[in-house]
Amino acid sequence: MKGFTLVEILVALAIAGVIALVSAGGLMHVNSREAVELETAKILSLLAEARALTISAKGGTVYGVHFESQKEVLFSGAAYPAGNPSNRVRPVHDDVRISSILLSGGGSDVVFNKFTGATSQSGTLTLTSVRDAAETKTITITATGVAYSQ
């Protein structure tokens, strides 16, 4: 009679289980990194949009972006009007948090100047993965209003 013993089957299942756990851990790391990268790109896009709207003087006003740990808000005007129906609120990805907001003068708003697109609220934002604190990305906003990530 040929076949597998119970011990051989259990050993094979144990090996398969270990391989599955190692693979799942690697995939979680990749997913965390991708979530941080995606959120970074979305914030950079929102900052660029606010700056472009301000430079083009759309509606004759300036635009800015308000940041909180779980959302960012595109708003019009020189100050963030919480609850304004014209605000465009965008939640941060569930697996990512804005863990640090360090802007000149404090606060959590970046407002761009008409026609030049410069800002007096230059500084950095740090995005961190909820699952893996080692996965971070820093967004730098320069005094000229240009934003980039590191």
Average pLDDT over residues 114-123: 93
Counting the structural domains of the chain, the total is 1
Is residue 138 a part of any domain in this protein? yes
Is residue 113 a part of any domain in this protein? yes
Average pLDDT over residues 85-93: 94
d(C-alpha 16, C-alpha 101), whole Å: 44
Does residue 22 register a pLDDT over 80? no
Instruction: Write out the two tokens for 54.
Output: 């301000």
Domain span at residue 53?
A: 6-149
Is residue 1 a part of any domain in this protein? no
In this prediction, residue 21 carries a pLDDT of: 78
Does residue 25 register a pLDDT over 70? no
CATH of the domain at 67: 3.55.40.10
- Comparing CA positions, the residue from 103, 126, 122, 123 lying closest to residue 112 is 122
pTM summary value: 0.80
Is residue 47 a part of any domain in this protein? yes
First to last CA, the chain: 64
| pLDDT per residue as tens digits for the range 100-116 | 999 998 899 999 999 89
